[in-house]
Amino acid sequence: MNNTFTNIDEYIESQPNETKRALRKVRTCILRAAPNALEMFNYNIPAFSLVEDGKREQQIMMAGYKNHVGFYPHPTIMKHFDAELKDYKKGKGSVQFPNDKPIPEKLIIKMVKYRMELLNKD
């Protein structure tokens, strides 16, 4: 996607319908777990800074694709929640939530809260 977006709503609206629905749920989960997160863009995808002026290491990101939503919490989070994510396609620091399956809202909230705990220890 070569678009440059000015806000996350614009980004979400540019996606296919099923992806929009999934992105909205993921965003709601992130903001429920981290109500003070600052919405921004990193690599032209939605990012949520969990600390003021947070660098990439202090952000959680999401991205919309035709058949799934990518969720990028951080490699340490992926490792910690590996067993709970066993049914999803994963990368070192990412997981794919298929658009045709329910978004694991409680799990996303737990992941974001755990990431914030780790950041607050630093």
In the sheet that holds 89-90, the strands lie side by side as 38-42, 45-49, 59-64, 68-72, 95-98, 89-90
| Positive/negative CA dihedral, 82, 84, 87, 88 | negative
What's the pLDDT at 121?
79
Averages of pLDDT over each 10 residues, the chain, 122 residues: 80 96 98 96 93 87 97 96 97 96 97 94 70
| pLDDT at residue number 122 | 62
In the chain the domains, ranked by start, together with CATH numbers, are: 8-121 (3.90.1150.200)
- Distance of alpha carbon 109 from alpha carbon 122, whole angstroms: 21
- Predicted confidence (pLDDT) per residue in 23-57, tens digit: 999 999 999 999 999 999 988 899 999 988 888 88
State how far Cα 107 lies from the chain centre. 12
| pTM greater than 0.85 (yes/no) | yes
HSE-up of residue 87 (Cα within 13 Å, Cβ side):
8
